[in-house]
Every structure is written in C-alpha cells, then in structure tokens.
Amino acid sequence: MTAYPVADGCVFCAIVTGRIPSFRLWEDADTIAFMDINPANPGHALAVAKGHWPTIHALPSTVLAAVAATAQRVARAQQVVLAPGGINLIQANGPGAAQSVPHFHIHILPRAVDDGLSLNWTPRPGDREAVAALHARLLAAM
C-alpha cells in the first residue's frame, strides 16, 4: 500500500483513513468517492485524492488522472440511476475559487434544468487583445 501525505485536522484525510464514516461509493489505490453529506442536489458526490494535496498545484499528475477516472465512474452511475438533465464536475483551488476543503477533490453534481443552482460567473465577451497577450504569457510558462 502506498504511503500518502496526511494532514491533522483535514476532514477528507479523516474520511480516507476511516476516522470519520462516509457513504463510500468507490475506492482504489489512489482515490475514494463518497456521497456529499451536504448535497447541493440529490446524488451529489465527491471524488477525492487519498493523499493530502491541498490543490491541483501540489498534486502528482498520476493522482489527478486517477481522481478524474473516479469522478467519471461516479458520473456514469449517476447517469444510470438518476438520469439527470446534466452533471457538473466542479473542482476549486484556493479561497478565491471558494474551495471548501483544502484537500484535492472533484464534486460530481447531478443537475436538472432550472434546479436553482448557479455557477459563479456570467459569460461576457473578452478583450481579444488582452486574451491574446495573456495567451502568449501562459504559453511561455508552459
């Protein structure tokens, strides 16, 4: 079994290690998935890295891939059982993105048309020159 970083006081670390009970849906070497006990909609679940990596910036890419695969597995089950109008995969990093628990996770959120939930922005046309300039800077950093 792989040893993962664990953080004292992290609710997801406590769920991973079994110190806090959960409604587990899936578990493999790198991830677990469980029901959100504060669901935004019925069926709301989380795919979580077993190790304590607060954000995508610290997470090994292999674990990111594993968490994404777990999220896909849960979303497929939600589609079969709930037949939702859609499913959001939501992943936040840091307080500015309203990250609720500083441990890498993806929300798998079944949706219905007009369910009253909204994401936190309204699309507006961008300044093409500003987009192009930022594009060049990001390419240079990659």
Three-class DSSP category at 88: strand
Residue 135 known to be catalytic: no
| Mean pLDDT rounded to a whole number for the chain | 94
User: Is the pLDDT assigned to residue 1 strictly greater than 60?
Assistant: no
Question: pLDDT (tens digit, 9 = 90+) per residue, 31-88?
Answer: 999 999 999 999 999 999 999 999 999 999 999 999 999 999 999 999 999 999 999 9
- Residue 16: the pLDDT is 97
Delineate the domains of the chain, giving CATH numbers in brackets: 11-114 (3.30.428.10)
Q: What's the pTM?
A: 0.90
- What are 39's two structure tokens? 């669901």
Q: What percent of the chain has pLDDT over 70?
A: 97
Which of 103, 105, 107, 135 is the catalytic position?
Answer: 105
Question: pLDDT (tens digit, 9 = 90+) per residue, 123-139?
Answer: 788 889 998 899 999 99
Give me the mean pLDDT over the 101-129 stretch. 89
Dist CA 79 CA 87 (whole Å): 8
Dist CA 95 CA 4 (whole Å): 24
Provide the 10 A C-beta neighbour count for residue 65. 12
